[in-house]
Amino acid sequence: MMTTHPYPILEFDDNKTAKLNPEVFVNVPFDTDKMVITFFPEVIDTLLAEEKITLSRAIGGENPVYVYRFADTDILITLGAIGCPACGGNLDLFHAMGITKVMFCGGGGVLDKNIEVGQLLVVDGAIRDEGFSYHYIEPSKYIYTDPKITEKIVAYLENHNVSYLRGLTWTTDAMFRETKERIERRKAEGAKIVEMEQAGCIAVAEFRGFAYGALIYGGDDVSSQEWSNRAWRSRKGIRYDLVTLCKNIVEIL
């Protein structure tokens, strides 16, 4: 049933069948249900060089998606696309292909300079300052991860003595419109990190009904007077270890 609104983004239709559904693009399903989505291309390159992953499938199109398989397990890994429409849309397609357990790992801008580079955030949910998620879940300011899944992630981190924070992200479509006033408002509303995918991915997982969790590490600093890169993209050890960590966690979701 569709609810209408003067502003289209605030309309919502809960019909799970659309004119074009992801199943249309599924020729052969995956033979596993577990996947890691990472935003670290150099980690993919390293794993390939170490022969720890091999190409499992190339999904064609104008922007091909390459899915790899770990050599020692049935877990798949792929490079995430930037922004909710691309990343969330691919996630919906992966689910149609049989994926029901997903761990996401990436980086984001910190809204508090006291969050160190590399500090892990267990994502409890996101502030929905984008458009994609509103086509999957009815309008609201916040969207939350499944608490049962999040608790499994937290339990794993604590059992393995991995330091972490826990909280919300701010998902935005417009990285060049993160103004001082918006940053302060989102921080006051509870966000610890700003990124571009979580609200959409969480919405897809909730709408389709599968397990999804995310770990995001503190990257650049958008909280101070001047933006600081903090050389966050060069933290190769942190990024490699985070992918390994998510590989281990997705097994228990």
Whole-angstrom distance, CA of residue 105 vs CA of residue 54: 19
Give the per-residue pLDDT at 234: 45
Burial of 183 (0-12, 13-18, 19+ CB in 10 A): middle
Q: Tokens standing for 62?
A: 């104008």
Q: Tokens standing for 144?
A: 């939350």
Band of pLDDT at residue 119, cut at 50, 70 and 90: confident
190-236: pLDDT as tens digits = 999 999 999 999 999 999 999 999 999 885 455 454 444 444 444 56
Whole-angstrom distance, CA of residue 183 vs CA of residue 243: 28
Give yes or no for a contact between 184 and 225, defined as CB atoms under 8 angstroms apart. no
What is residue 73's three-state secondary structure? Answer: coil
Give the per-residue pLDDT at 117: 73
21-53: pLDDT as tens digits = 999 999 899 999 999 999 999 999 999 999 999
Record the pTM.
0.93
Taken in order of first residue, the domains within the chain and their CATH numbers are 29-250 (3.40.50.1580)
121-177: pLDDT as tens digits = 999 999 999 999 999 999 999 999 999 999 999 999 999 999 899 999 999 999 999
More confident call, 236 vs 98: 98
> Distance between the two ends of the chain, CA-based, in angstroms?
32
Whole-angstrom distance, CA of residue 111 vs CA of residue 36: 26
